[in-house]
Amino acid sequence: MADTNASTRTLSIDIGGSGIKVMVLDENGNAISERARLDTPQPPTPEAVMNTITQLIKSVGEFDRISAGFPGVVRAGVTETAVNLHPDWVGYNLASALSERLQKPARVINDADMQGLGAIAGKGVELVITLGTGFGSALFLNGKLVPNLEMGHHRFRKGETYEEQLGRAALEKVGEAKWNGRLGKAISSLQHLFNYDYLYIGGGEAKLVKIKLPENIKIISNLNGLLGGIALWRD
């Protein structure tokens, strides 16, 4: 019998501090639309972001369900933190809002978690960090997600957090060379903390990484943040 889900299309949404991206994926997680992107609206309130998503989907075609990655703690579809967006996101039911607005079932997860789901091999301890407006993180054990790690807001060095030392504001303040030096120190710290088998580095600023990386560290495409959307529907 033919697989009735073979043609199920998933709209994958990546909400970031600087940009919002969407793409439609087939049942196997392959892109079947171009990636569409718009700058994150300012101020990035829930209503403004929802309006941007509504505008973006006009260019990607039909879909049957929705997956969204959000830059903060997400529990049961509700956004609990939003350091790089707007205070109105705290306690906002994004999954319900997307379902209501777009008339399709929706699932929402932390954006670094979603990026990791699109990148990991599913073996051993795998850590994902994302370098962008903020500093995202995701941890997996044999492919199983430990949700809402939010390591970026933990103390790293000189009394500052990973995000304060390595977020976009820090990069613009200290320059690429010093930022890369800090990243090297962060990687060393994370290796000792998690004893990971593999580390993946993604996010918009991953392209600026210039330090020599060990063989068990891989730079991943920002596209993984969208491709991971299919994994939210693998029960």
- pLDDT tens sequence across 97-123: 999 999 999 999 999 999 999 999 999
CATH number listed for the domain at residues 10-114+226-233 = 3.30.420.40
- pLDDT tens sequence across 137-162: 999 999 999 999 999 999 999 999 99
- Residue 140: both structure tokens together: 């997996």
Residue 68 bridge partners (DSSP): 13, 108
Write down the domain spans for the chain: 10-114+226-233, 120-219
Q: Is 188 helix (H, G, I), strand (E, B) or coil?
A: helix
Average pLDDT over residues 183-201: 98
In CATH, what is the architecture of 120-219? 2-Layer Sandwich (3.30)
Residue 36 bridge partners (DSSP): 22
Same CATH fold assignment for domains 10-114+226-233 and 120-219: yes
Q: Mind giving me the DSSP string for 70-105?
A: ESS-EETTEE---TTS-GGGTTEEHHHHHHHHHSS-
Q: Does residue 86 carry a pLDDT above 80?
A: yes
Q: Does residue 42 carry a pLDDT above 90?
A: yes
pTM of the model: 0.92
The per-residue pLDDT for 6 is 54
- Residue 197: both structure tokens together: 């088998």
Q: What is the rounded CA–CA span in Å between residue 57 and residue 63?
A: 9
Q: Which amino acid is at 20?
A: I
Q: What are the helix and strand counts (H, E) for the chain?
A: 7, 15
CA distances from 93 to 90, 103, 170, 210 (A): 9, 15, 31, 39
Q: What is the rounded CA–CA span in Å between residue 139 and residue 151?
A: 10
Greatest CA separation for the chain: 61
Please provide the distance, in angstroms rounded to a whole number, between the alpha carbons at the two ends of the chain.
Answer: 21
The dihedral region occupied by 146, where left means phi > 0, alpha psi between -120 and 50, and beta the remainder, is beta
